[in-house]
Amino acid sequence: MVELSELQQDMLTELFNIGMGNAASALSEMVSEAILLSIPEVSFMEKSELTNLLEADSGGHISGVSQQFHGLILGQALLTFPTDKSLELVRLLLQDTVPLENLTEFEEEALTEIGNIILNAGLSCLADIFEDEITSDLPIFNSGSCSEVIEHSNQTNSAQQTVLYLQVDFNIEKNDIKGYVMYLFDIQSMDKLATSIESYIEKLTA
Amino acid sequence: MPTPTKTIPSEELLTQVIDTNATGITILDKSMNIIFWNQWMSNASSLAKEDVLHKNLFSVFPEMKNSRIEKAIELSISKGNASFISHTFNKNPFPLYSNGDKNKSIRQLTYIKPVNLKNNERYCFIQINDSTTSVYREEQLRKMAHDAQSLTKLKSGFVSSVSHELRTPLTSIMGALGLLKNGTDKVNPENMKTMLDIAYNNADRLLLLISDLLDMEKIESGKMDFNFSTININELIDLCITQNKGLSDKYKVQFNFNKDDNIPLVFADKDRIIQVLNNLMSNAVKFEPNGGTIEITSSHENNKVHVAVLDHGSGIPDEFKDKIFKAFTQADVSNTKNISGTGLGLAISKTIIEQHHGELNFDCNNKRGTCFYFTLPVNKQ
């Protein structure tokens, strides 16, 4: 497991906040509404811990958007919300006046598009750290129990996985909605990430 | 046994497959020049392959410059990220039309994906799915949900108004009967009569309300029957003045009928028109000052018979004018005579007149009172 020093922690948080700033301005433009995105926290954890954490926060049912990524590192990017929050978010963005009980096809597509923008912004941050390209596949919408969504979006099926975990706060029309962005890596990719963070900081502080 | 031969799909085969695909497919090189354009794209854009191949996508479609699609293509070529663009937020989709008809824009789901070849050449693959039908279906679904929501609101408003209207007279009846039941020995005959009057009048009001409610129900379900015949409106007005005499005497007002002696006949349901006249007259009695005269006028013009009922009361408050024909709306004005109504009369009257292809409306000058009038088409037979 990667233990981040305070400096590393601050640097990653800052970097992802810049990335989310870009995503937020793209989203604001799309919906003609001021949207703020912030990342108050970045941490690493084991995949098993992740399920517990999401379950505790969501009451069990989540909706999410996932994308596979490739390059020097391989893995899965995943954005999740407790299902009721995903409904709230998408309806705020769509300015939906007639909310139906479940996410409709429209809303699933809208959420997929929003997730895609956020996940790509985060991948750009990781690419900056690696100073190399990280390419991504098309986003997929998932919904179900926490473990279902995580497993469904996790094609590599490796039990030994580490998760780079970011809490992302959406602020839209005075509403705060909390979501989670996760990057699931295999062990080798994790090692590469740790080394890259080190050298990125060295370069910055040199 | 012959060795199975490995068949590799030829370029011709692949192109045919992609061409007959029911989605739009185009491929751009890293300078955003179009290097592949399938048949679906040609059909939807009315641009043949020869028109677009080796041209920059944004010189073919300059209106898409600075769009989300352009940004996503840049992201795919420069950073290798795939994007999904739903129809919802996409303000500048591809200008594509169903069967080339400019009035039938295709609603699009756009997938933009980088493709890397072994020699590190990068291309941008764009797939467009036509979601027009599902968008239409969802819009219908939303409309239905919206209508259902409005109906539920209307229903609950109606139920609460009806319950209130039914409960008020019933409470008076129960109160009066309760006093009689519990204290018959102490009640003198005069008080007993007062109690019975209260109970009777309120029961009468309940009856009126229920018959109005049934009328409303008939109107709303389109089941109100009309029994048309040729009638002289003056005769009906005279009849209604007689029917309302008791009420007008009680409240010390008079009716003055300015009769058009040459009034043409109308083809109408006699009982329903009487219902309308009684409603307008009893309303006028309610608001006419004591000792005043309610003016009733019949006239005709342009194949229409016109009936007006004018009182000299305080008029209709401005904020109430828009709602006056809605069920269960009664303005909170000084109705010192305390004549109760159901709040349904005008709504029913308006519907009845409209079913006769006429018009019921009012003119109101708050200083001079209110004139309710209706028209009916002249019988042409």
Residue A1 lies in a domain: no
Token pair recorded at residue B24? 């739009």
Residue type, B373: Y
Exposure of A177 in the CB half-sphere (CA atoms within 13 A): 22
Instruction: Classify domain B140-220 by CATH number.
Output: 1.10.287.130
pLDDT at B189: 77
**What does DSSP assign to residue B85?**
E
pLDDT at B2: 65
* Structural domain containing residue A32: 6-205
Most confident of A163-167, B103-107, B248-252, B295-299: B295-299
Residue A181 lies in a domain: yes
No. of H helices and E strands in chain A? 6, 7
In this complex, do B138 and A112 lie within 8 Å of one another by their Cβ atoms?
no
pLDDT at A202: 85
* Site from A22, A25, A103, A106 to mutate, B interface, most B CB atoms within 10 angstroms: A106
Residue A97 lies in a domain: yes
Q: What is the tens place of the pLDDT at every residue in B149-162?
A: 877 877 777 777 77
Question: Poorest-confidence range of B22-36, B131-145, B304-318?
Answer: B131-145
Domain B11-130 has CATH 3.30.450.20: yes
Token pair recorded at residue B154? 């209307």
Residue among B234, B325, B233 nearest B283 (CA): B325
Residue among B322, B314, B253, B304 nearest B281 (CA): B253
Q: What is the tens place of the pLDDT at every residue in A26-75?
A: 888 887 788 888 888 888 888 878 888 888 877 778 898 999 998 888 88
Total domain count, chain A: 1
B38/chain A closest Cα distance in angstroms: 21
Domain ranges in chain B?
11-130, 140-220, 228-377
Residue A179 lies in a domain: yes
B252/chain A closest Cα distance in angstroms: 54
Backbone angles phi, psi at B268, to 5 degrees: -150, 170
How far is it, in rounded angstroms, from Cα A125 to Cα A12? 9
Residue among A123, A6, A4, A2 nearest A70 (CA): A123
pLDDT at B341: 61
Q: What is the tens place of the pLDDT at every residue in B362-380?
A: 988 767 789 999 999 998 7
How far is it, in rounded angstroms, from Cα B327 to Cα B216? 9
CATH number of domain containing A194: 3.40.1550.10
Asked if pLDDT for residue B336 goes beyond 50, the answer is no
A152/chain B closest Cα distance in angstroms: 19
* Site from B88, B129, B138 to mutate, A interface, most A CB atoms within 10 angstroms: B88
* Residues of chain A contacting residue B82, judged by C-beta atoms under 8 Å apart: 67, 116, 135-139
pLDDT at B214: 85
pLDDT at A158: 58
CB-count exposure of residue B99 (10 Å: 0-12, 13-18, 19+):
exposed
How far is it, in rounded angstroms, from Cα A185 to Cα A78? 11
* Residue bearing the bigger pLDDT, B70 or A94: B70
pLDDT at B296: 96
Question: Poorest-confidence range of A4-8, A96-100, B43-47?
Answer: A96-100
% pLDDT > 70, chain B: 93
Point out the residue among A100, A116, A135 whose CB comes nearest to the CB of B84. Answer: A116
In this complex, do A106 and B138 lie within 8 Å of one another by their Cβ atoms?
yes
pLDDT at A1: 62
How far is it, in rounded angstroms, from Cα B352 to Cα B348? 6
Give residues with Cβ within 8 angstroms of A96, minimum separation 6: A90, A107
How far is it, in rounded angstroms, from Cα B370 to Cα B315? 5
Helices (H), chain B: 11-19, 39-45, 49-52, 57-60, 68-79, 132-183, 189-220, 233-243, 245-250, 270-287, 345-355
Farthest-apart Cα atoms in chain A, separation: 56
* Site from B70, B84, B92 to mutate, A interface, most A CB atoms within 10 angstroms: B84
| B1: three-class secondary structure by DSSP | coil
Q: Which residue of chain A comes nearest to B140, CA vs CA?
A: A98
Interchain contact B316–A (C-beta under 8 A): no
pLDDT at B340: 57
∠ CA A166-A167-A173, rounded to 5°: 135
The average pLDDT across B78-102 equals 88
Q: How far, CA to CA in Å, does A159 sit from each of A48, A78, A145, A156?
A: 9, 17, 18, 9
Hey, which CATH number is domain B228-377, 3.40.640.10, 3.40.30.10, 3.40.1180.10, 3.30.565.10? 3.30.565.10
Radius of gyration of chain B from its Cα atoms, rounded to whole angstroms:
37
Residue A119 lies in a domain: yes
Token pair recorded at residue B357? 């292809």
pLDDT at B304: 93
Instruction: Supply the mean pLDDT for chain B.
Output: 86
* Residues of chain B contacting residue A109, judged by C-beta atoms under 8 Å apart: 84, 86-88, 109
pLDDT at B218: 82
Q: What is the tens place of the pLDDT at every residue in B206-238?
A: 888 888 888 887 877 778 888 899 999 999 999
Residue type, B26: T
Please give the distance of CA A58 from its chain centroid, rounded to a whole number: 16
Asked if pLDDT for residue B185 goes beyond 80, the answer is no
pLDDT at A156: 59
Residue among B26, B209, B212, B257 nearest B123 (CA): B26
Give residues with Cβ within 8 angstroms of B103, minimum separation 6: B97
| B305: three-class secondary structure by DSSP | strand
pLDDT at B47: 94
Residue A118 lies in a domain: yes
Label residue A205 by pLDDT band (50, 70, 90): confident
Interchain contact B110–A (C-beta under 8 A): no
Label residue B184 by pLDDT band (50, 70, 90): low
Q: How many CB atoms within 10 Å of residue B2?
A: 4
| B334: three-class secondary structure by DSSP | coil
Label residue B245 by pLDDT band (50, 70, 90): confident
How far is it, in rounded angstroms, from Cα B64 to Cα B252? 78
| B228: three-class secondary structure by DSSP | strand
In this complex, do B81 and A94 lie within 8 Å of one another by their Cβ atoms?
no
**Beta bridge partner(s), residue B257:** B296
The average pLDDT across A16-20 equals 88
The complex's ipTM works out to 0.86
Residue among A184, A164, A187, A176 nearest A15 (CA): A164
Residue appearing with tokens 């870009």: A22
pLDDT at B347: 87
Token pair recorded at residue B266? 């109308």
Q: How many CB atoms within 10 Å of residue B156?
A: 10
Asked if pLDDT for residue B88 goes beyond 50, the answer is yes
Which contacts qualify for A97-102: CB closer than 8 Å, 24 or more apart? A97/B146, A98/B142, A98/B145, A98/B146, A98/B149, A100/B141, A100/B142, A100/B145
How far is it, in rounded angstroms, from Cα B36 to Cα B28? 7
Label residue B334 by pLDDT band (50, 70, 90): very low
**Beta bridge partner(s), residue B299:** B306
- Mark B128-141 as b/e (b = at least 16 C-beta within 10 Å): bbbbbebbeebeee
* Residues of chain B contacting residue A67, judged by C-beta atoms under 8 Å apart: 82
Interchain contact B109–A (C-beta under 8 A): yes
Residue among A150, A136, A153, A168 nearest A19 (CA): A168
pLDDT at B331: 56
How far is it, in rounded angstroms, from Cα B133 to Cα B283? 53
Asked if pLDDT for residue A93 goes beyond 70, the answer is yes
Farthest-apart Cα atoms in chain B, separation: 121
Q: What is the tens place of the pLDDT at every residue in A105-138?
A: 888 888 999 999 999 999 988 888 888 889 999 9
In this complex, do A135 and B81 lie within 8 Å of one another by their Cβ atoms?
yes
DSSP string, B42-82: HHHHT--HHHHTTSBHHHH-GGGTTSHHHHHHHHHHHH---
Question: Poorest-confidence range of A195-204, B193-202, B323-332, B347-356?
Answer: B323-332
How far is it, in rounded angstroms, from Cα B65 to Cα B59? 9
Point out the residue among B79, B83, B134 whose CB comes nearest to the CB of A116. Answer: B83
Label residue B335 by pLDDT band (50, 70, 90): very low
* Residues of chain A contacting residue B114, judged by C-beta atoms under 8 Å apart: 135
How far is it, in rounded angstroms, from Cα A24 to Cα B145? 31
In this complex, do B80 and A133 lie within 8 Å of one another by their Cβ atoms?
yes
How far is it, in rounded angstroms, from Cα B99 to Cα B89? 24
Helices (H), A95-171: 105-130, 146-153
In this complex, do A104 and B141 lie within 8 Å of one another by their Cβ atoms?
yes
In this complex, do A136 and B146 lie within 8 Å of one another by their Cβ atoms?
no
